[in-house]
Amino acid sequence: MISKIGTIALQRISNFFYALGFFFHVLKETLLFLKRKQVGFKVLVMQIFFTGVEAISIVSLLALALGAVIILQGLTILLQFSQTQYIYIILIMIITKELGPILTAFIIIARSGTAIATELGNMVVSHEIEAYTAVGINPVSYLVVPRFLGVTLSLVILTLYFNFFGLFASFLITQLFISIPFDEYFDNLLSVLNLSHILSSLIKSLVFGMIISIVSSYQGFKVRYASTEIPQVVIKAVVQSIAFCVIADVMLVILFNQF
């Protein structure tokens, strides 16, 4: 019993260091990516298209709905206390600082994280990864780095878009229910918004993008023999990505509050 626990513990420690090694290997290959003029540039463009461009519609819908709901719900409550001026700080705090980055990350986990783990897993099973190695193409450099860069870059841009759309386009929706003068809304919003809010959002999305791409790629590569392993690694990729993003979110909030 004790030896079994010991074996599992040792395996976990070994897996942790292996994952850490994978992370640093990806970072190293990322630095070398542009220098090498790798053939993986096309993969990067495709990844940005899939993760960034094709996700715009769902991100727009979520940002629009979230912004509208906050304004409608917030104003209903704040009106009872005659404190409607706080709606702007609530909007910024919720959309820009908190839900913008994390909800966009969740969308990317659902779309791109699952796709990356599935695609790489399938490639392992069909020996396509071995075929890259046989040709001399480093699978991390050719397959993981473009996904790492593509997902991270797309997530940063999508988060900025989410913030913009959530804050500004939702204004139009609310006009259907509550009439807020255009000038008043934007003046008040911009007076609350400052650089630290945008920076916080950007840093979070950068970290989340790195987490999602690395975790999903790592799990995809963990497939060994059969396609039946693929759903299992996809589930792990989703669960671990969510867990690490939430933990990173809390840590970043604590860090930001120190400054």
Partner 1 sequence: METLFELKNIFLYSNDFPILNNISLSIPAACSTVITGHSGCGKSTLLKVLAGIMLPDAGEVFYLNSNLHTMSEKQTHEFKKINGFAFQDSALWANKNIFENLSLPLHFHFPELSKQEILSKVQKVLTFVNLMDSMYLRPAELSIGERKLVSMMRAVICDPTIVFMDDPTTTIDQEMRKKILTLMKNLKHNRASLVMVTNDPEIIASMCDYLVLLKQGMLIAAGPFEEIKKSQNEEVRAILSSVFENANTFDQDILDLLNQ
The residue (of 43 and 91) whose beta carbon lies closer to partner 1 is 43
Nearer to partner 1, 122 or 188 (CB): 122
Minimum distance of partner 1 from residue 37's CB (angstroms): 7
**Residue 95 Cβ, how far from partner 1 at the closest point, in Å?**
36
**CB closer to partner 1 out of 134 and 254:** 134
Q: How far is the CB of 42 from partner 1 (least distance, A)?
A: 9
Our CB check for partner 1 shows the closer of 100 and 139 to be 139
Minimum distance from CB of 251 to partner 1 (Å)? 35
Contact 70, 84 (CB under 8 A): no
CA distance 86 to 95: 14
Q: How far is the CB of 183 from partner 1 (least distance, A)?
A: 51
Within 13 Å, how many C-alpha atoms sit on residue 31's CB side?
A: 5
Residues that bind partner 1 (CB under 8 A): 37, 39, 119, 122-123, 126-128, 130-137
Select from 20, 46, 30 the least CA-distant residue to 112: 46
- Tokens 């860069």 correspond to 149
The least distance separating partner 1 from the CB of residue 134, rounded to whole angstroms, comes to 4
The CB-of-133 to partner 1 minimum distance in angstroms stands at 5
The DSSP line for the chain is -HHHHHHHHHHHHHHHHHHHHHHHHHHHHHHHHHHHT-TTHHHHHHHHHHHTGGGHHHHHHHHHHHHHHHHHHHHHHHHHTT-GGGHHHHHIIIIIIIIHHHHHHHHHIIIIIHHHHHHHHHHHHTTHHHHHHHHT--HIIIIIHHHHHHHHHHHHHHHHHHHHIIIIIHHHHHTTTS---HHHHHHHHHHH--HHHHHHHHHHHHHHHHHHHHHHHHHHHT--S-TTHHHHHHHHHHHHHHHHHHHHHHHHHHHHHH-
Q: Pick between residue 136 and residue 181 the one whose CB is nearest to partner 1.
A: 136
Residue closer to partner 1, measured from CB, 12 or 127:
127
- Residue among 132 and 164 whose Cβ is closer to partner 1: 132
